[in-house]
Amino acid sequence: MKILVIGDIVGKPGRGILGDFLERKKDNYDLVIVNGENAAAGFGLTEKIVKQFYGFGVDVITTGNHIWDKKEFIDYLKKDHKVLRPLNYPKGVPGVGWNIFETSKGVKVGVISLQGRIFMPPIDCPFQRITEILDEIKKKTKYIIVDFHAEATSEKMAMGRFLDGKVSLVFGTHTHIQTSDNRVLDGGTGYITDVGMTGSHDGVIGMTVETVLPRFLTSLPTKFKICEEMARVNGIEVEFDEYGKCSNIDRVDTSIEEIDFADFL
């Protein structure tokens, strides 16, 4: 089984290049997972964008701290469980943190959205909350994929080690910077600290330099604007064996000009 994971899609440039990429490549994959927390101009998601992603061939949308930015979308989370909000928000908040999906070949895959706590909003312990549900998912499938949306590399690597041998893949999102540590851990779990960002690579993690820099220079709030230049697709392409172990994990980092010839890292 081969899946594609795409990192935080930021605004229109991110959505545009995602569509171009999937138009050419989606038939290569049994399942396509994207992190959509920044798809609506950098802040959250809308129903219209979700439908656009499904039209592109996206099967699962994971999210993170920005999922709550569009107030009207919180209601939508109650009815569309192909969009996952982080599992470890307090119990009772709208939406689901995991679900079972089926590939085109009928293979069941469990996907979990989880969020870190270092330099992030204070929420429940991700290590404890995922432990509570793993047995239930394992009864349904041996393929379990975790999006760990977190800031600190240490917390992400600790989660990779904690889940090694218990799940098929732990990939990080949220920093918007792709890390080069893609590998298969000792217990057979695929791991990368961050899959990176799909959007403009010319600004500061998706926003224009002109709107971000003043916040650092003055500490005053500024309104960020989506950067339009140099769009790239960032993600990973991952293969699994029949036992649910990861057999290969490659990075995807490509521009629109390179898509047709993309060689994965």
**Which residues form the catalytic set?**
66
Distance between CA atoms of residues 237 and 220, nearest Å? 40
Considering only residues 33 to 52 of the shown chain, the ones binding Fe ion according to CB under 5 A are 37-38
The amino acid sitting at 93 is: V
> Quick check: 206 binds Fe ion (CB under 5 A)?
no
Sites for Fe ion among residues 137-196 (CB under 5 A): 174
Closer by beta carbon to Fe ion, 69 or else 80: 69
Q: Look up residue 82 and give its two tokens.
A: 């192909």
Q: How far is the CB of 151 from Fe ion (least distance, A)?
A: 8
Applying CB under 5 A, does 65 fall inside the site for Fe ion? yes
Give the closest residue to 39 by CA, choosing from 76, 75, 64.
Answer: 64
Report the nearest approach of Fe ion to the CB of residue 120 (Å): 8
CA distance 96 to 10: 22
Least Å distance, CB 67 to Fe ion, is: 9
Of 196 and 244, which CB lies nearer to Fe ion in the complex structure? 196
Q: What are phi and psi of 184, to 5 degrees?
A: -100, 120
Give least dist CB 147 to Fe ion, A: 11
How far is 115 from 238, CA to CA, in rounded Å? 21
Q: Of 151 and 164, which CB lies nearer to Fe ion in the complex structure?
A: 151
Which residue, 215, 188, 208, is CA-closest to 41? 208
Give the binding site for Fe ion (CB under 5 A).
8, 37-38, 64-65, 174
